[in-house]
Structure 1
Amino acid sequence: MLVNGDGRVFVGRRIDNKEGDWWQMPQGGVDEGEDLDQAALRELAEETGARPEHVSIIDRMAESVRYDLPEELIGKLWGGKYRGQEQVWFLARFSGSDEDIDLNAHDPAEFCDWKWAEPEHLPELIVPFKKRVYRAVVEAFRELV
């Protein structure tokens, strides 16, 4: 969860989701042997272009969060290898300006558009099967945002 100085959260519209007006927070995988904090900062830089000097990790959820794909997506996403994800969520503060966001910082880009959103609106913006995850993330970081 990347939060700006106004307490709003970065969300992006995925390039590969043409079936709805869904927005999500940056997320990504951890390379073998990679430290979770470093993975979070790397993925954030790849997906948003936010440079490390503009990002400070504030907190990490105590428990990981899991979700399962809906039946209609199993076998279609992630090369058919996975049925869901287990995620470790971080809260990070962004000290840069909007001009420091660069969705094309990594090839291929993951997002085609982005905006700052109010934290309480996040569950309304995400695909339905991730709403429970987003509610948990908002609740975990509510006091720190």
Structure 2
Amino acid sequence: MTSAPPERDLSLYRPCVGLALINREGLVFAGRRLDAPDAWQMPQGGFDKGETALECGLRELREETGVKKSRVELLASTEDWICYDLPDHLMGKAWGGKWRGQKQKWLALRFLGEDSEVDITQKPVEFSEWRWMRAEALIADIVSFKRPVYEEALRRFAPYLKPS
């Protein structure tokens, strides 16, 4: 007989929003991280005091991609937190050692603009390059410790990962 895994203490996780920016072809925005050139990821970032998940997500989207809120449509969001733990080599280093990992609310956003509107040179720059990817390819290219979160978020957003 197996027992259920213990509940996570969510107070140990940094609150964050993750963004699945999906274009008309059903492809997902991915940026190559400046600090980890082998890692691609979707935009994400921590909450500022008093922000809702949507407010945080739209701010992070603008900061990381230059995409304005008028150029996206909210498709779906997760109500619950999806968490990941940092690997041992980052534990105690990332975010000043305050957090064990991140708890994320996820938003699926339809990109209504043109590729020329994406500008990853916003300061501080997070990505060295970007591209549209199929969900499966993005999951394969994400750092391994974030893979279960990406699998879960993209599974939930699967209905939107088709051409519109």
Which TM class, normalised by the smaller chain length?
A: over 0.9
Query: Structure 1 CA distance, aligned partners of 2:73 and 2:156?
Result: 17
1:142 maps to which of 138, 145, 158: 158
Larger radius of gyration: 2
TM-score normalised according to structure 1 size: 0.93
Q: Could you list the runs of 5+ residues in structure 1 that have no partner in the other structure? A: none
Identity of aligned residues (%): 45
Could you tell me which residue of structure 1 aligns to residue 127 of structure 2? 111
Indicate if the aligned counterparts of 2:21 and 2:108 stay in contact, CA closer than 8 A.
yes
User: Which structure's residues are more often strand, by fraction?
Assistant: 2
1:6 and 2:22 aligned: no
Could you tell me which residue of structure 2 aligns to residue 30 of structure 1? 47
TM-score normalised according to structure 2 size: 0.83
1:16 and 2:35 aligned: yes
Q: Deviations over 1:29-77 (max 9, x none)?
A: 1111112111111101100000111111111013210010011111221
Query: Structure 2 CA distance, aligned partners of 1:143 and 1:127?
Result: 24
Query: Structure 1 CA distance, aligned partners of 2:46 and 2:86?
Result: 17
The RMSD of aligned alpha carbons is 1.1
1:1-145 aligned within 5 A: 1-18=20-37, 21-105=38-122, 107-145=123-161
Query: Structure 1 CA distance, aligned partners of 2:73 and 2:59?
Result: 12
Q: Which amino acid aligns with 1:119?
A: A
Q: Which amino acid aligns with 1:7?
A: G
How many aligned positions are there? 142
Query: Structure 2 CA distance, aligned partners of 1:76 and 1:38?
Result: 28
Q: Could you list the runs of 5+ residues in structure 2 that have no partner in the other structure? A: 1-19
Q: Using the TM superposition, name which of 62-71 and 2-11 deviates more.
A: 62-71
Query: Structure 1 CA distance, aligned partners of 2:154 and 2:61?
Result: 18
Post-superposition offset of 1:125: 1.1
Structure 1: 4+ residue segments shifted above 4 A: none
Query: Structure 2 CA distance, aligned partners of 1:144 and 1:94?
Result: 11
